[in-house]
Structure formats: C-alpha cells, structure tokens
Amino acid sequence: MIANPILLQKKYSRVIECFAKMQGLSLDAALDFFYHSKVYQLIRDGVSDMHCMSDEYLAEELRQEYIGKILTNCQ
C-alpha cells in the first residue's frame, strides 16, 4: 500500500523525534541516521505496511538497527 507523501513526511518527523529522545541524539544526528536506515527504506517502499505501525514501534526498530550498527563498527 502506498501512503500519502505528505502524511509520510509527518510520520517520518514523529519517528525521528521519538528515536532522538530514545537514544539521546540530536535531531540532526537522528535525521541523518533515519534517512540512511533500512527502516526508512521499508517505510518508503511500502513494505508490509510499515507506515501503519505506531511511531514508537518504528522508533524502536530504528533503535535496534542503530545499536546493531554501533556493535558492528566496534568489532
């Protein structure tokens, strides 16, 4: 299912803000990570209606991806 682009932009901003608060990141850092994440690609491409998930759920998925990348970079 393809979502309305304006509604998606609003969804992105809420998810980014929630993720930034969860991780203690600046909005700029959270924004940069979000737009390079797999979560963003899934939402953008309409996979599994990810855009229908709650903001908190998507922020948690983003947090898990973020932690995974940090751990990968530390090895």
Q: Parse the chain into domains and list their residue ranges.
A: 5-74
CB 1 within 8 A of CB 49: yes
pTM: 0.91
Task: Measure the CA–CA gap between 32 and 44, rounded to whole angstroms.
Answer: 15
Task: State both tokens at 47.
Answer: 């996979």
Tens-digit pLDDT profile for residues 17-74: 999 999 999 999 999 999 999 999 999 888 888 889 999 999 999 999 999 998 888 8
Report whether 17 contacts 3 (CB < 8 A): no
> What does the DSSP 8-state code read for residue 75?
-
